[in-house]
Structure 1
Amino acid sequence: MALKRFCPKCKVLIDAGNRYCASCSDKVVQQQAERMKQRKEQGKDKERHKAYKAKRTDEREQRFYSSKQWELMKLTIINKYKGMCIYTYYKEDRIVPYDTIHHIIPVKDDWNMRLHLYNLIPVTESVHQKLHKMYKHDKEQAQKELKELIAKWNGWN
């Protein structure tokens, strides 16, 4: 009798030599392809971000994003949200890795909220850009929506 184990995604019984069941294996391959596509696209974003960062004049914020406090908080957020984009998880019912951590209430608006655990949400770069567009259209509604996602993740609603 061959050794068996459970598929880590759907809990179906599979041969111990397989990582996933056939169904989940297809999904994993598709997700990996999406991640590779995103990483390729981000190469362009890195150059754009480098140019943007060079032109910034807000020295206090720049120091903050290089601080030990911020590095520790990022690790806390990554662990709390399992390293995934919470927006995509709830809005698109997909699990994708995060790229950046978004301040729901921007640091420019409230310096004291910069390290508040429930003011930070991990998102993909495309979602981050989408959120900033939403902020231009209706900032309060976008912030409310993000706070609801945080509450949902933490089981508060």
Structure 2
Amino acid sequence: MSEGIVLLADTVHHIVPLKDDWNKRSDISNLMSLNHDTHSMIEQMYKKDIVRTQSLLLKMLHGYRSM
């Protein structure tokens, strides 16, 4: 989305990880469909700055769903 490239989603990312809040496991506002490579990239971003990455993902998800 950030690079204008659309790929087939094959996994779902929990913006707030399940280990941090199990109750958000099926909350649509916490789920983002991604492909495996993008998911791996996001997981690496989480290791560097989870708060900033979560904020970015939430903004992107809200923007996408508002279209």
TM-score computed with the length of structure 1 as normaliser:
0.41
Runs of 4+ in 1 over 2 A off after TM superposition: none
Query: How many residues are matched?
Result: 67
Structure 1 residue 107: Cα displacement:
0.5
Q: Which has a greater percent of helix?
A: 1
Q: % of aligned pairs identical?
A: 33
TM-score computed with the length of structure 2 as normaliser:
0.92
* Structure of greater Rg: 1
Q: Which amino acid in 2 is paired with 1:97?
A: L
Root mean square deviation, CA, Å = 1.2
Q: Could you list the runs of 5+ residues in structure 1 that have no partner in the other structure? A: 1-89
Higher relative contact order (CA 8 A, sep 6+): 2
Q: Could you list the runs of 5+ residues in structure 2 that have no partner in the other structure? A: none
1:107-135 Cα offsets, whole Å, 9 max, x none, are 10001110100100011111111111110
Partner of 1:150: 61
For 2:52 and 2:37, locate their aligned partners in 1 and report how far apart those are by CA, in whole Å: 19
Q: Which amino acid in 2 is paired with 1:95?
A: V
